[in-house]
Amino acid sequence: MRLSAFVTSCLFLLAACESSGKVTPVTVQWMDWPAEVNAGQPFRTRLVVWGICAINLQFRPGASANQSAVTFAPYFTFEDDHILCAAATGNAFVVTALDTAGIAPGLLAGSPRTYEMRAPMPDFTYHFDVVAARLLVSAYGTVMVRPSGADPSRRNAGGYASLDRDSQNCLRVRPLGVYAPNAAIALDDQAAAGGAAALVRGYIYDAATPICGETRVFHVTPG
């Protein structure tokens, strides 16, 4: 799964680099956001997207909302210049995932209610030796909107991630393409099975008892 995801991402990046336009939309492989917010309160949403190889990149989260959902449609703007990708040239220029954020607009709620959190999720179709990446908008989870009194302590999360054990035998979830040392968060269920990159959903919260020496942990929800 990891190898195929890496190959897919490389091909997606190559396609983006070859674009002659000045705008390239990208998928979101990971998103996390407050589980609860107050009505009318904009809120920060973490977005992990694939970078592209181009000159003078500017990231735009493309946030919007309607009566049922918040939707991010992220994209890069860049100069209309052609440069070669590292995958094609073998040079030292490396393109990885961009760990960034977008601000979701304030949402209406006369009483407690939920909105979906949506974004284009990677959808990889394999056919013999051809890999196609499409922009398919999907739900990553929900946010609870309250007229007041929202609890900011928990964050919902979802996307493609790996469940790996580190050098201390601690099972952690790591968003796909993010390799910073502090990017992986300990799971509250250390007896769970690890595995290659897959679609994961859950929430981040403060545990009463430290796990792997940390109290901020991740809980995987089934389904």
User: By mean pLDDT, which of 93-107, 124-138, 166-180 is the weakest?
Assistant: 124-138
- Phi/psi at 207 (nearest 5 deg)? -80, 150
> What pLDDT score does 53 carry?
73
Nearest CA to 141 out of 120, 117, 170, 105 is that of 117
> What is the CB neighbour count within 10 angstroms for residue 111?
8
Assigned token pair, 113: 């209610």
Write out pLDDT tens, residues 199-218: 999 999 999 999 999 999 99
> What does the pLDDT average to over 150-161?
96
> What pLDDT score does 67 carry?
95
> What pLDDT score does 134 carry?
57
- Owning domain of residue 191: 2-220
| Domain tally, the chain | 1
pLDDT higher than 60, residue 7: no
pLDDT higher than 80, residue 125: no
> What pLDDT score does 100 carry?
94
